[in-house]
Chains A and B, each alone.
Chain A
């Protein structure tokens, strides 16, 4: 669904802003640690809106001030810097004097599905799986404590992960890029993995990546065993230099190959033979890396001075809450339910173009004939530019 930067009429803007205001008045806004050292930025429901004009370089010294700002000026979008500054409100980046910054990740559905759009919920599941992969990397490979990691629904089509551990906040851009390289598997030397060579004088125990690849390879071959021969052969033929004859032969020898995989160590034991050549294993390892890696928005993580949405704020483009999520509730989290803060109260609208929505498990087909929608859906469509608020109809409706 594309965003329409149509001109939003003032009735709609006012309606949205009032609804947002109600939310901010009653909500407990989740302020980030050391909020007074961060730069804050807002997009307001002003004349220019929905053109996004970022009003930057704001700073607050008390949480009450932030609350007041949200309740009175009620912005459409709320951001804060990932960075901690000595002078957050300074208008030149250098004069702000950067001190540290949270490590953040932005997982966006668009990047992950890469054009393969099937349905909104399929998309959301794909990005949730990717986020889980990232969280596993962070807690297992980087050995970070869960307490330092915050997962937040982005309010749009993905998740943000905020990592706030003292040592990590001091990392510069290059170091953060190393973290990205790690979770993307960039620079993994397939040769070392295949030959189980020591990459430095010390690596006696395998690295977490090696173990992960070993496990993937084993389960991949085991899954081939479960398949029909024709399907397995097709699968095997997808590897470079494996023709039908070779694929068949490999399939026939699968059990042997699997048995050879288990060397008792956690690192991949890839026996190079006439059948399973080095080139074949390279392909397999590469496939493993492709499946195991995480796709994150690189510039976001590498940037030590990023602006990111305030968790618990509202996203002006959807009306969804930028919802913080507890670790043990992540599996069950459904944005189309759990990020909705508005009611189902019927709201008068004028729909501009036909769309289908699935909010709160209610599938609604809205078209030009629709006169009213549940509030949460109405707000969503208005925020996206697919509908306008129709106060006149409300009056005639009230008579009934």
Chain B
């Protein structure tokens, strides 16, 4: 079997291969033997993504290639079953980085081949300028994938010429990493059935235990330092940053929280930009209204209200000692200030 599918199992080509193997997720879940290996690797992918980086496996035997290939769709289903966005985000980042590392480790010839196949899979028209080892991207294919990248070399203004951007191999790999992250984040079009999720319950329980300990460690969400934020708020932030839309109550809770802790109106509006129904004027109006333009400055809702509206789906240890998200924040900020600074292990979260 073509190693490519196992190395990059999120591709369309890989999905087609899975289909042709006549395996369904149900088979994996209910079967034995071979399936146990797949389930084990699926759990491993998720846990390793949560705690650091996904580790490579040997692909020297056909059975190992098949296991690796199938472990991705099963893992993705597990992630969908759990449905905690913080996890989905971490997982997508993990898979994307994993793919990047694999690409980096290839020799020139292999890299060019695999890059070519991946570009095609993502519908990116990039011209390889052979002798110069460069790729020429149309600017639309460049900007599609640079929203998560901060360095000035990813700003169109610094690199475009005649509607195109030229990139070295390494940079193309970075772009592919972003494309992969977005794809894994999006996940399969249909939610898994409760039957499937139930069959996976023991693996899921184990993953959730890892999630619990991972979430209470430092969570670096990029520009916004969410370390002192309660899990409910971090979850909402995670959703917004991924371009998901929030319910009305969730939006209110999040906006009010950010306003209450001192974020400026501009920053809050800017933060909502990726929402699918983002309307600049309306969001601005909403934010200003919550911040008191009509005379009342609103306070974000307390824990029981968050629970009532389904906006509290995750409680950690500290949650048990407070009854308002702002209290959580105050407690955690105070702790941060008083504790000695330790060297922290940041996982490279590209947001």
Instruction: Give chain B residues whose Cβ lies under 8 Å from the Cβ of A303.
Output: 279-280
What does the 1/0 interface line of B149-192 toward A look like (CB < 8 Å)? 00011011111111110111011000000000000000000000
Query: Is A13 in the interface zone, CB < 8 Å from B?
Result: no
CA A205 to CA B129, docked complex, whole Å? 14
B155: contacting residue among A142, A178, A202, CB under 8 A: A178
The count of residues in chain A whose C-beta lies closer than 8 Å to any C-beta of chain B is 40
* A209 in contact with B157 given A94-B277, A178-B146, A299-B281 (CB within 8 Å): yes
A171: contacting residue among B143, B273, B277, CB under 8 A: B143
The reply to whether A141 and B163 form a contact with Cβ atoms under 8 Å apart is: yes
Query: Is B278 in the interface zone, CB < 8 Å from A?
Result: yes
Query: Is B315 in the interface zone, CB < 8 Å from A?
Result: no
Query: Is B214 in the interface zone, CB < 8 Å from A?
Result: no
- CB proximity to B under 8 Å, residues A148-176: 167-168, 170-171, 173-175
* A141 in contact with B162 given A168-B140, A200-B168 (CB within 8 Å): yes
What is the interface of chain B mostly: helix, strand, loop, or mixed?
mixed
The reply to whether A188 and B157 form a contact with Cβ atoms under 8 Å apart is: yes
CA A244 to CA B256, docked complex, whole Å? 54
CA A181 to CA B146, docked complex, whole Å? 13
Query: Is B147 in the interface zone, CB < 8 Å from A?
Result: yes
Instruction: Give chain B residues whose Cβ lies under 8 Å from the Cβ of A181.
Output: 155-157
Query: Is B274 in the interface zone, CB < 8 Å from A?
Result: yes
Query: Is B276 in the interface zone, CB < 8 Å from A?
Result: yes
The reply to whether A175 and B140 form a contact with Cβ atoms under 8 Å apart is: yes
Query: Is A236 in the interface zone, CB < 8 Å from B?
Result: no
Instruction: Give chain A residues whose Cβ lies under 8 Å from the Cβ of B138.
Output: 167
The reply to whether B160 and A141 form a contact with Cβ atoms under 8 Å apart is: yes
Would you give the shortest CB distance from A168 to chain B, in whole angstroms? 6
The reply to whether B158 and A208 form a contact with Cβ atoms under 8 Å apart is: no
Taking each of A141, A192, A206, which has the highest tally of chain B beta carbons within 10 Å of its own beta carbon?
A141
Would you give the shortest CB distance from A374 to chain B, in whole angstroms? 37
Taking each of B134, B157, B276, which has the highest tally of chain A beta carbons within 10 Å of its own beta carbon?
B157
Would you give the shortest CB distance from A86 to chain B, in whole angstroms? 14
Instruction: Give chain B residues whose Cβ lies under 8 Å from the Cβ of A305.
Output: 279
What does the 1/0 interface line of A178-192 toward B look like (CB < 8 Å)? 110110011111001
* A187 in contact with B163 given A173-B278, A200-B168, A202-B168 (CB within 8 Å): no
Would you give the shortest CB distance from B283 to chain A, in whole angstroms? 10
Query: Is A64 in the interface zone, CB < 8 Å from B?
Result: no
Would you give the shortest CB distance from A192 to chain B, in whole angstroms? 7
Query: Is B289 in the interface zone, CB < 8 Å from A?
Result: no
28 A-B residue pairs with CB within 8 Å: A93-B279, A94-B277, A141-B162, A143-B163, A143-B164, A171-B140, A173-B273, A174-B273, A174-B274, A175-B143, A175-B144, A175-B147, A177-B273, A178-B146, A179-B143, A187-B155, A188-B157, A189-B158, A200-B159, A202-B166, A203-B159, A206-B161, A207-B159, A207-B160, A208-B161, A208-B162, A303-B279, A305-B279
Give chain A's interface residues, CB within 8 Å of chain B: 93-94, 98, 140-144, 167-168, 170-171, 173-175, 177-179, 181-182, 185-189, 192, 199-203, 205-209, 299, 302-303, 305
